[in-house]
Amino acid sequence: MSPLDAPSGRRLLVLIPLGLLSLGLVLALGAFWLLSQPTGTRPPRSLVIPPGASAQRIGELLERENLIHSASVFAWTVRFKGLGQQLEAGTYQFDGTRTTGGIIQDLRKAPIQTQRATIPEGLTRHQIAGHLQRAGLVDSARFVAASEDPNLIRQLGIEAVSLEGYLFPETYFLDLKADEGDIVATMVAQFRSVFADSLIMRLGDLELSLHEAVTLASIVEREAVAASERPVIAGVFQRRLKLNRRLESCATVEYALGTRKRRLTNADLRVKSPFNTYRHRGLPPGPIGNPGRASILATLYPAETEYLYFVARGDGTHIFSRTNKEHERAKRQIKQQERLARQAQARRATN
């Protein structure tokens, strides 16, 4: 007996699942359509698609920048259309005004002409300007001017007098036609993508503002060499802040002097500057360079420590001390080791 010949009760049992299936299909298609629509985010930002990236990975990069609603919808659309091998690696300019399908079409075209530039961790904005000028990408004076342009800083949502600390050190593929403001905006956008929501939430636990955290991270960046010591150094500085002790960071003195020195003199430590943490308590007015991811994480997740002092051995590591007496002993120990090393070098030179 066919369903049409079945009793009305049985026909109803057949029709109800078919109706539910149709409703589910309509809802799924509606959700898919909504998730494919533009996000509306502006301004445009550069996005680097690495060679060999899968559709899912590209979708995740786009979703992280809020350029699409769903990485899964992006990946499914690419696979459904059979375009997985047609997405070109390179640097693209996107904003949130394109649908998922439109972005996929854009990724099938040739990317913009770019030049690779790697910005090391810890450089100041002036050093970054010089680095990019030597690469032929910017005029250093215009780059510095852009990094302190109040209108641009406000547009980028940074509450500071300059973008020192917010020009994220990274390897970039920069548009050869981009001006200095565009490049500054790209670097700040990368900072925003790294300092994501979970890290912003962590600021409340530490009772630090974003600017204070970036400032402290920039000091950690300049003081730490060995990766394993970053959280300890961050812990020392945060403990000193809680105890209302001066940070006494040599890196802040070097920033105030405008030069790096192997050994600071007593006169150097007395330099008059709000950045000199030997003279002033608390954090300096702003960052002393542009910290990388590791120093930011060390600052937000410092080691629990009883140390209050540290002194550089000269090999990239430090001796940490709990008391000033221990600290003075550590300094004498290092000076003795340096003296013995010089004597050994002199003997080798005469032999």
Residue with tokens 């007593």: 266
Residue pair 79/128 in contact by the 8 Å Cβ criterion:
no
**Residue spans per domain, the chain:** 45-106, 114-194, 224-305
Distances (CA, A) of 48 to 51, 186, 264: 9, 11, 42
Q: What is the pLDDT of residue 188?
A: 95
Q: What is the pLDDT of residue 148?
A: 97
Q: What is the pLDDT of residue 1?
A: 41
Q: What is the pLDDT of residue 332?
A: 93
Q: What is the pLDDT of residue 215?
A: 98
pLDDT tens-digit profile of 57-111?
999 999 988 888 889 999 999 898 888 888 888 778 788 888 888 888 888 876 7
The two tokens of residue 62 are 């786009």
Q: What is the pLDDT of residue 92?
A: 81
Q: At what angle do helices 140-147 and 125-134 cross, to 10 degrees?
A: 150
Residue 348, CB-side half-sphere exposure with 13 Å CA sphere: 6
Weakly modelled stretches of the chain, pLDDT under 70: 1-32, 42-43, 110, 112
**Top-level class of domain 45-106:** alpha beta
- Sorted by sequence, the CB contacts under 8 Å of residue 239 that are 6+ apart come out as 305, 306, 307, 308
pLDDT tens-digit profile of 172-217?
888 888 899 999 999 999 999 899 888 999 999 999 999 999 999 9
